[in-house]
Amino acid sequence: MSFDRAVMRKGALIFAGTLLACVIAYLVHAVPGAWFPHASRATWNAHALALTRGTGFLQEDALVITAPDPKGIVLISVVTDFRSSDYPAIAWDVSNLGEHADVQLLWRSDSRPDRLNSTAIGVEAGRTLPQTLAKNPAWIGRIVGLALAIRDPIAQPVRVRGVVAKPMGMFEILGDRLTEWLAFEPWNGASINTVTGGADVQDVPLPALLATIVAISSALVLLASRWQPSFRRPAVAALLCGFFLAGWFVLDLRWTWNLLRQEPATAAQYWGKDARAKHLAGDDGPLYAFVEKARDVLPKSPVRVFVAADADYFRGRAAYHLYPHDVYFSPRGTALPPAGVMRPGDWLLIFLRKGIQYDAAQGKIRWEGNETVSGVPRLVEPGAALFQIR
């Protein structure tokens, strides 16, 4: 038994050593300058920003952009004064961007005050990614102004909460990763299938880090078992299972912490409301409100209704709210059936679905593949419509 305990201690040291090695390797890659910088991060909130091109307004802690200027550009600027060498990274806090938004970081420095510098900013999950500028030759001198340029049709209001200049030292980077992993992830339409864990955008997702540590630790134990007689098969199997369970346990702790924070959020959202008010307060509240109006237009006896929406969640929820009508929807994919499948007297409900056009002059509904069918609009709202097939 003492022999097995010694093996388990060695296994624990292997796991801890692998964790430490992975953290150090990541920091070597991620820290752009000094590991222990003297400067602290500088932050400018939404109230310090100036909207010089485009239309928007301040709402609590965010600058809400509702439309670009006539040339399709949004420009947000802020006056700054800091040494570029102290702050190798800039992070704009922008959300609700389009999938193909063109976002540029602009700046001026006192070394070339007549020159406007720029670099592209990545967008993921509708959010801007931090931009590291330490190796950019134009990131020199004192930075006397920052700006953000957005070229995007802006299908939904874009929220800009501010901008942060980051020293990107070791402790700041590790703190950012912990903040991302422990960020509250409210339940949404996909939560029944998956909870990704933390912030929408993460530099290093926690499951990926744990999987790497478990894989490397397991590989080291298997290699050790070939040259160390003390690593017998039962002990090796126990160590491999222990590594897997340790990673699983950490993920379960994060999930449980998220669940504890979800309970008061759910209570605040639904407590004391009747069934209709709870539906309207849910993630599909706008859809429920539209379907409620559509049910008043639809015949009382069940009819065939085709549902079109870009999101799987909205197609399924629309079908649920429309029952007991005979509802067709694709659970995995936005494709509608061929036009020949639809018969006079059928109905087509559209909710936040791109690619469907209606020609009022000809009374034709058209979608991908040049499929067309005759129809009459019975209920039309922004982003949603109900047609009766003729």
Q: What pLDDT score was predicted for residue 105?
A: 96
Distance CA 94, CA 97 (A): 7
Q: What pLDDT score was predicted for residue 165?
A: 96
The sheet with strand 384-389 has its strands ordered as: 326-328, 304-308, 347-351, 384-389, 371-381, 364-367, 357-359
Q: What pLDDT score was predicted for residue 238?
A: 86
Distance CA 105, CA 101 (A): 13
Sites in the chain below the pLDDT cut of 50: 1-2
Q: What pLDDT score was predicted for residue 4?
A: 67
* Nearest 10 degrees: Cα torsion 230, 234, 235, 238: 170
CB 199 within 8 A of CB 179: yes
Q: Around Cβ 298, how many Cβ atoms within 10 Å?
A: 20
- DSSP for 362-373 reads TTEEEEGGGEEE
Q: What pLDDT score was predicted for residue 232?
A: 74
Q: Domain ranges for the chain, please list them.
A: 1-31+174-271, 37-168, 279-389
Q: Around Cβ 253, how many Cβ atoms within 10 Å?
A: 10
CB 169 within 8 A of CB 34: yes
* CATH architecture assignment, domain 37-168: Sandwich (2.60)
What predicted TM-score, i.e. pTM, was given to this entire model?
A: 0.69
Q: What pLDDT score was predicted for residue 194?
A: 60
Taking each helix axis as running N to C, give the angle between helix 233-270 and helix 170-182, from 0 to 180 degrees, rounded to the nearest 10. Answer: 70
Give tens-digit pLDDT for 202-213: 888 899 999 999
Q: What pLDDT score was predicted for residue 1?
A: 44
Phi/psi class of residue 302: alpha, beta or left (left: φ > 0; alpha: ψ in -120 to 50)? beta
Buried/exposed code over 189-226 (b: 16+ C-beta within 10 A; e: otherwise): eeeeeebebbbebbebbbbebbebbbebbbebbeebbe
Q: Around Cβ 292, how many Cβ atoms within 10 Å?
A: 13
